[in-house]
Amino acid sequence: MTDTILRHDWGLDEIEALLDLPFNDLVFRAQSIHRANFDPNQVQMSSLLSIKTGACAEDCGYCSQSAKNTTGLEAEKLMPLEEVVEAAGAAKEKGASRFCMGAAWRNPTDKNLQRVIEMVEAVHGLGMETCLTLGMLTQSQAERLRNAGLDYYNHNLDTSPEFYGNVITTRTFDDRLETLAHVRDAGISVCSGGILGMGESRRDRASMLRELSNLPRHPESVPINMLVKIEGTPLFDAEAIDPLEFVRTIAVTRMLMLNSYVRLSAGRTEMSDEMQALCFLAGANSIFYGERLLTTDNPEADRDKSLLDRLGIKTEQVIETEVKAAKVPCNKVQAG
């Protein structure tokens, strides 16, 4: 059965056929794959901090941080190291096991990269995984980040190669693939996904998933975002994606990339609890935790905790804590 085979040769028509399956059949198949590879009642939690906000030279049609979009967002300088460490510590106390730092750059200068490397090392010192999203990287920059101990680098494809030009014109789709190759070749885990609800077709969503699943190594983390409409951006009036279509995309992401973490990212504020529950059923097993995602709202921590409690879903950190508390001398542990 092909559902259980790790593949890198998916065809566009194959993926679109999965998206076309009856909803119940699709979710059942995705949940079956999820159970074969992950604990179905556990999610990985990450926290995201904007360490440098605004004045980005890119023209991404969805982004409040683009200097080309009139959104009223004030540009800020790179945060001081001590403020980043304080934010990371607070995120850890609230349950996050990975701390992601984002800077609104087209690409970092080597001088700025060194300052970010100091942040990576400091957050590692707190016992957390680290992730960065800084724009495009050269191979030498990726290797510097690897040497600093960076765990993940985020660089989303955003959408299909066919639809890409409708969203961004200041960097090409191939530019994004090149940065992913630099990160992968440096030995850093890749975090790459896309945004749904920008006016793309179902075939565009299938094409984006084909690009991700046919990479030489599947991204270890695949964030699936729902467009957050920001006044002043070109995509503010884009037609919202149907919630069940979003769940379908989550399910197919799980089916194509069996061992990847599939993350519910931006847009959760606009999702009902029931929609999020369906996403978990379809194979999502990671969320961003906290009140902000870079410059957009995210569900408050208390709401997240309430939802996960109602669903009987635990976080990686909670489970780790419980296991440690239950440890007994090894001669009393039963095999089996």
The catalytic residues are 56, 60, 63, 100, 131, 191, 263
- CA 215/CA 302 separation, integer angstroms: 37
Evaluate whether 245 touches 23 at the Cβ level (below 8 Å).
no
- CA 27/CA 33 separation, integer angstroms: 10
Neighbouring CB atoms inside 10 A of 210's CB total 20
Evaluate whether 294 touches 48 at the Cβ level (below 8 Å).
yes
Minimal CA–CA distance to 249: which of 270, 221, 228, 278?
278
Tokens of 302: 């208390």
Helix then strand count (H, E) for the chain reads: 11, 12
187 φ, ψ (degrees, to nearest 5): 90, 15
Residue type, 143: E
Residue type, 86: E
Evaluate whether 210 touches 10 at the Cβ level (below 8 Å).
yes
